[in-house]
Amino acid sequence: MDIAELNERISQQSAFVDLLKSEIGKVIIGQQALIERLLIGLLANGHILLEGVPGLAKTLAIKTLSSVMKAKFQRIQFTPDLLPADLIGTMIYNQKEGNFSIKKGPIFSNFILADEINRSPAKVQSALLEAMQERQITIGERTFKLEDPFLVMATQNPIEQEGTYPLPEAQVDRFMLKVKITYPSREEESQIMRQYMGGDEVPVNTVINTDQIIASRKLVNEVYLDEKIEKYILDIVFATRNPEKFGLQKLNDLISFGASPRATLNLAHAAKAMAFIKRRGYVIPEDIRAICYDVLRHRIAVTYEAEAENLSSENIIQEILNKVAVP
């Protein structure tokens, strides 16, 4: 593989990333990490779970992304009375013609915002997560392929847990990234206030289409991943399962179970997408470290001992990154 030639090709074809960021930046003030993670999910064909308090532009971010791409967008508010049919569609009986017809649900879009996913019971969550995994929906006897690209961004409210149905670990594992959103800085919030006091919507231009995203995904897969980087990814993941082998005996009593093989694959895919966004044809250790928290924070279960010490999965990831040798 000619790395120089690949690097040049990716540098040219990833030029749209700056245009996307620029257009989204007209509407979303700050939140650069969120915008970057949305692009990583899009380019690496993964889904995103967002955790943050209300009012941090989660809905606006994915809606703006669909606008700058001229893609279909649907926001679905998850409520306790939501049914799987409200999500995927159902068979409707036509009394006049005496037959059944299929009415497709809102899931048939490019971008799905599953707002407060933990407000709905398990059967609705399962319907969505099956669609995420299989990229298809079965209604009656017919199976339909979902749109391509297909990106689900689900949100969770961390401060209000009454009347919620927490996502099981096996379902949470289907999300490539879990991103935690924090408050904007004082300067950013001042800028937000000035921009939105006028009441007018900020117009954005369409700078890319869905076909270009699909073509870019093929190029993302070509990003060079050196054997030393592969070993680094494996060391990080295996340190969550067998910390004592990496000189991290103190983590044995803090980890209930470590990251799954899906974490290894997602870490590699996300790192390649990160390299593409940075307009490079090869992955470097900083790409792994930058995306590591988002890929692993929902895949490491901590014990009661860890919770008693007020330690989270992020503290464990930090310990692992500090200990595992960087190539």
Residue 161, pLDDT score? 61
Q: d(Cα 239, Cα 316) in Å, to the nearest integer?
A: 10
Residue linked to tokens 């290894």 = 264
Dump pLDDT digits (tens) for 173-192.
889 999 988 888 899 888 88
**How many residues make up the chain in this entry?**
327
Query: Phi and psi at residue 224, in whole multiples of 5°?
Result: -75, 130
Helices of type H across the chain: 3-13, 15-27, 32-43, 58-69, 84-88, 122-134, 169-172, 186-196, 210-222, 227-241, 261-277, 285-296, 304-308, 313-323
Q: Which two tokens stand for residue 268?
A: 């590699």
Residue 1, pLDDT score? 60
Q: Which two tokens stand for residue 317?
A: 């990831």
Would you say 318 and 219 are in contact if contact means Cβ atoms under 8 Å apart?
A: no
Residue 275, pLDDT score? 93
Which of 154, 153, 156, 179 is CA-nearest to residue 53?
156
Which of 51, 59, 68, 56 is CA-nearest to residue 17?
68
What does DSSP assign to residue 14?
Answer: T
Which residues, in sequence order, are bridge partners of residue 151?
A: 111
Q: d(Cα 119, Cα 169) in Å, to the nearest integer?
A: 16
Would you say 151 and 41 are in contact if contact means Cβ atoms under 8 Å apart?
A: yes
Would you say 126 and 171 are in contact if contact means Cβ atoms under 8 Å apart?
A: yes
Distances (CA, A) of 59 to 9, 75, 147: 33, 8, 20
Residue 162, pLDDT score? 61
- Domains of the chain in start order, with CATH, are 31-192 (3.40.50.300), 223-321 (1.10.8.80)
Distances (CA, A) of 218 to 4, 60, 213, 222, 273: 18, 28, 9, 7, 11
What does DSSP assign to residue 245?
Answer: G
What does DSSP assign to residue 120?
Answer: S
Distances (CA, A) of 239 to 103, 254, 324: 48, 13, 8
Give pLDDT < 50 ranges for the chain. Answer: none
Q: d(Cα 241, Cα 235) in Å, to the nearest integer?
A: 10
Residue 32, pLDDT score? 86
Q: d(Cα 56, Cα 50) in Å, to the nearest integer?
A: 11
Residue 159, pLDDT score? 62
Q: Coil, helix or strand for 251?
A: helix
